Amino acid sequence: MSIRIAGTGSYVPDKVLTNADLEKMVETSDEWIRTRTGIQERRIAAPDQATSDMAYIAGSRALEMAGVKGEELSAIIVATITPDHVFPGTGCLLQKRFGAPGAFCFDLEAACSGLLYSLEVAYSLMRVNRKYKYVLVCGAEKLSCITDWTDRNTCVLFGDGAGAVLLENVDDDQPGCVLASDLHADGNYGDILLMPAGGSRMPASEESVRERMHSIRMAGKETFKLAVPSMVSASRKVLEEAGVAPSEVKLVIPHQANQRIIHAVAQRLDVPEERVYENISHYGNTSAASIGICLDEVVRNGLIERGDYVLLTAFGGGLTWGALLLKY
């Protein structure tokens, strides 16, 4: 009995928004954005393209890689802070499109840590209940629709996209793909990274729209300071629990929030930068989609092989953070 990653998929929209484009929108510069964040460009979804549309393409690619049909899915979990609707859930919308009548579906909201949380939930469910043969986990975001395009502190950071991982319950004696996990949350810091309006605390009103409360608010410096030690501590914990040395890890895939955060985490973990995967320069921060997009790129580009150790670590609103050690 074991659980493996049977397929991965990803999707980013065609439209590229460069730093030069942003220079025309807010008081910023390509130099500031590149040196402070490592971001050069990001992708922006079309106006008629919702989160489920991107998740559907990423998920289809994961199913195709595994040779699995939508009707075979037991469950669909979508990690997102930008669902198509408050309800029905994005997972239910995908169930219809995949033609997966046997799948139960839900959305999971843990901001940038959403994919890690979802993988842990899916993996744990599948271990307890062997009847769940295939579970599709998607991380998908249309952050462009909750970005305040007049706020230079945040609008240069975010992008749109989707990643997907298909987990499969198989009959063999392997230990399974998640060797160790360490997930956390601290609601005391909920107000440093949030979207104030649109929920029951502050429903949409003329004032909430006028005051741009339906977009991401972030205390950047504070978030930065908490992100590095949190990801490092969770990463060390999973390595220790699994008895794996940092030198044995083939690739570290950190959430792509800021290149300086990524490099600080790598340095503290004592992992050389060439073994830390980065695509932030092209996509910016895609929240729950980020690690899924990275994982799919490393699989498709042959950067990891079956049996390799891969360390995932993320940090985001909530606050939420954590790490998973995978054996691919």
User: Torsions phi, psi of 305, nearest 5?
Assistant: -120, 165
Are the C-beta atoms of 250 and 284 separated by less than 8 Å?
no
Site map 274..293 versus ligand ACO, x via CB under 6 A: -----------x-x------
Residue at 11: amino acid letter:
Y
CB of 67 to ligand ACO, least distance (A): 34
CB of 92 to ligand ACO, least distance (A): 23
Site map 76..115 versus ligand ACO, x via CB under 6 A: -----------------------------------xx---
The DSSP result for 21-70, as a single string, is: HHHTTSS--HHHHHHHH---EEEE--TT--HHHHHHHHHHHHHHHHT--G
User: Torsions phi, psi of 283, nearest 5?
Assistant: -120, -10
The residue within the footprint of ligand ACO, chosen from 105, 316, 324, 328 (CB under 6 A), is 316
Neighbours of 104 (CB within 10 A): 16
Catalytically active residues, by annotation:
112, 255, 285
CB of 74 to ligand ACO, least distance (A): 29
Site map 190..229 versus ligand ACO, x via CB under 6 A: ---x----------------------x---xx-xx--x--
Nearest residue to ligand ACO, by Cβ distance, number only: 220
Site map 242..281 versus ligand ACO, x via CB under 6 A: ---------------xx--x--------------------
Sheet with strand 75-79: strands edge to edge? 2-11, 160-170, 134-142, 75-79, 104-108
Are the C-beta atoms of 295 and 165 separated by less than 8 Å?
yes
Site map 36..65 versus ligand ACO, x via CB under 6 A: xx----------------------------
Residue 153 sits in the site that holds ligand ACO (CB under 6 A)? yes
Residue 189 sits in the site that holds ligand ACO (CB under 6 A)? no
Cα torsion 46, 51, 52, 56: sign: positive
Tell me the C-alpha distance between 40 and 43, whole Å.
11
Are the C-beta atoms of 160 and 44 separated by less than 8 Å?
yes
Tell me the C-alpha distance between 60 and 43, whole Å.
20
Piece of 8-16, 148-156, 173-181, 273-281 that binds ligand ACO (CB under 6 A): 148-156
Strands in 232-308 per DSSP E: 249-254
Piece of 149-157, 160-168, 181-189, 270-278 that binds ligand ACO (CB under 6 A): 149-157
Residue 149 sits in the site that holds ligand ACO (CB under 6 A)? no
CB of 232 to ligand ACO, least distance (A): 14
The DSSP result for 66-134, as a single string, is: HT--GGG-SEEEEE-SS-SSSSS-HHHHHHHHHT-TT-EEEEE--GGGHHHHHHHHHHHHHHH-TT--E
The residue within the footprint of ligand ACO, chosen from 2, 23, 32, 202 (CB under 6 A), is 32
- The residues of the shown chain that bind ligand ACO, judged by CB under 6 A, are 28, 32-33, 36-37, 111-112, 152-153, 156, 193, 216, 220-221, 223-224, 227, 257-258, 261, 285, 287, 315-317
